[in-house]
């Protein structure tokens, strides 16, 4: 793929390539958001290890105050981590030194919304906690979001710049489980999505709750606009725990959103819906069926590459590839391909990677990682996941390798070209429910378990 200066984008104050960047480029030394420098789970880093462990290839390892599914974010010499502190009943925003792992600053950032004061509440249910969303940075400030609605911005020195609570501003969230969606920087704006059901769930939520995409001024946290995002789904199928993903195709910039039984693309400047496709929610598995399940909450975020936008249907549904550059409702004719129904290529929780002109799909349900051709959906290779537990963390890729961590903390490393399993690295043999993705920056792997944060690789 040839690139010239026209392919450069200014994204959130940082210079990024619209496609791939030369190895060693400065932007690949950072992991600024949950899905990395190219918003697709990949990095151009090289010299990354395949074999490592808690006492092998470790630059440093730092105890974490409590569990969190958030992925570490890296910019320059700073590593930003969201965490809980169960003992103090606090939600934490942390900054560590990239070279040593030393804690530069740590702040209690959550308010304990509706529980009587700061630190009174760190989770809503036993499956997750409020510190599950990943922070995001534009190189000047870092923003943390928590499932109780708290959105807090700091500068790199740890000074609080602003804070707000989305539940206080827009009403109580209407989710069956603890809400988790990571904030996103793009084009100098800060984005958050809330895709929720339109009815109360016990004491939570309310009738008529709206789903929306929100754009904010990152310097103040104030709203620039809020765009409603209607959906034909019902009940829990309206709920999504995905993250908005920036995308550019033939010069048109978009924000991709997945959830509510549909995929949509939005104008980053206004939130206006550019296109929509759906649905994966058809029963039985016959395209055109009008019967829809009510329990199709969505977890994976969209990922784009190779001329298509990929969305994962939940609960053993296929993955669906929509032709990029669409306009209007493209439910009829907009689909490029989909994987086999009840086949190997499916994902209920992990978001796929686009890397080296292929999609890599980690199936938590089929316990396999598969490489898929974006042109036709053909499976290039599929390798079983050897871990004792499923992979819920979204896989990441660089240096010809795919990294996928299981719930039990085993980091499986695959050869991206052949699918060969290069190593299985147990990073936390006594832990479970680990869902943080492996972050890649500056020739190092950053691996977060429930109890520790590791920096792996060469100094």
Q: What is the mean pLDDT of residues 68-77?
A: 97
Distance CA 253, CA 358 (A): 21
In b/e form, how buried is each residue of 330-343, taking b as 16+ CB within 10 angstroms?
bbeebbbbbbeeeb
Tens digits of residue pLDDT in 391-409 = 999 999 999 999 999 999 9
Instruction: State how far the Cα of 276 lies from the Cα of 258, in Å rounded to an integer.
Output: 10
What single string gives the DSSP state of each residue in 253-272?
EEEEEEETTEEEEE-TTT--
Rounded mean pLDDT of the chain?
A: 90
Domains of the chain: 75-154 (2.40.10)
Residue 439 pLDDT greater than 80, yes or no:
yes
| Residue 149 to residues 169, 198, 301, 409, Cα–Cα distance (Å) | 9, 17, 20, 28
**% of the chain beyond a pLDDT of 70:** 89
pLDDT band (50, 70, 90) for residue 113 = low
Q: What was the pLDDT predicted at 128?
A: 78
Residue 2 token pair: 């040839």
Confidence of residue 15 (pLDDT cuts 50, 70, 90): very low
What is the model's pLDDT at position 202?
A: 83
Residue-level pLDDT at 10:
31
Longest Cα separation, the chain: 57
- Can you give the pTM of this predicted structure? 0.91
Is a pLDDT exceeding 90 seen at residue 342?
A: no
């Amino acid at each position: 793929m040839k690139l010239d200066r026209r392919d450069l984008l200014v994204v959130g104050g940082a210079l990024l390539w619209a496609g791939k960047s030369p190895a060693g480029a400065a932007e690949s030394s950072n992991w600024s958001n949950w899905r990395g420098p190219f918003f697709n789970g990949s990095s151009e880093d090289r010299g990354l290890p395949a074999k490592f462990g808690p006492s092998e290839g470790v630059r440093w390892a730092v105890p974490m105050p409590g569990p969190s599914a958030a992925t570490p974010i890296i910019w320059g010499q700073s590593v930003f981590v969201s965490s809980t502190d169960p003992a103090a009943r606090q939600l934490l925003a942390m900054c560590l030194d990239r070279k040593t792992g030393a804690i530069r600053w740590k702040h209690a950032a959550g308010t304990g919304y509706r529980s009587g004061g700061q630190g009174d509440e760190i989770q809503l249910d036993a499956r997750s906690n409020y510190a599950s969303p990943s922070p995001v940075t534009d190189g000047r400030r870092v923003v943390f979001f928590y499932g109780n609605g708290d959105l807090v911005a700091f500068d790199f020195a740890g000074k609080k710049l602003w804070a707000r609570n989305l539940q206080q501003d827009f009403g109580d969230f209407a989710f069956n489980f603890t809400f988790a969606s990571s904030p996103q920087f793009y084009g100098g704006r800060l984005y958050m999505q809330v895709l929720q059901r339109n009815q109360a769930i016990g004491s939570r939520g309310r009738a008529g709750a709206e789903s929306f995409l929100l754009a904010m001024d990152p310097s103040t946290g104030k709203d620039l606009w809020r765009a409603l995002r209607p959906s034909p789904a019902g009940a829990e199928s309206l709920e999504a725990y995905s993250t908005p993903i920036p995308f550019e195709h033939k010069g048109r910039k978009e924000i991709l959103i997945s959830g509510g039984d549909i995929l949509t693309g939005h104008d980053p400047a206004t939130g206006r819906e550019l296109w929509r496709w759906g649905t994966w929610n058809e029963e039985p598995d016959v395209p055109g069926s009008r019967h829809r399940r009510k329990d199709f909450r969505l977890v994976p975020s969209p990922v784009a590459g190779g001329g298509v936008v990929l969305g994962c249907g939940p609960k053993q549904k296929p993955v669906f590839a929509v032709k990029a550059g669409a306009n209007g409702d493209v439910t009829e004719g907009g689909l490029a391909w989909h994987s086999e129904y009840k086949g190997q290529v499916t994902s209920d929780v992990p978001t796929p990677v686009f890397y080296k002109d292929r999609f890599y799909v980690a199936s938590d349900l089929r316990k396999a990682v598969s490489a898929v051709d974006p042109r036709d959906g053909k499976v290039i290779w599929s390798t079983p996941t050897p871990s004792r537990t499923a992979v819920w963390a979204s896989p990441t890729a660089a240096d010809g390798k795919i990294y996928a961590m299981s719930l039990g903390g085993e980091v499986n490393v695959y050869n991206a070209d052949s699918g060969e399993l290069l190593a299985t690295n147990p990073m936390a043999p006594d832990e479970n429910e680990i869902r943080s993705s492996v972050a890649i920056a500056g020739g190092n792997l950053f691996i977060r378990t429930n109890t520790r944060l590791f920096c792996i690789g060469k100094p």
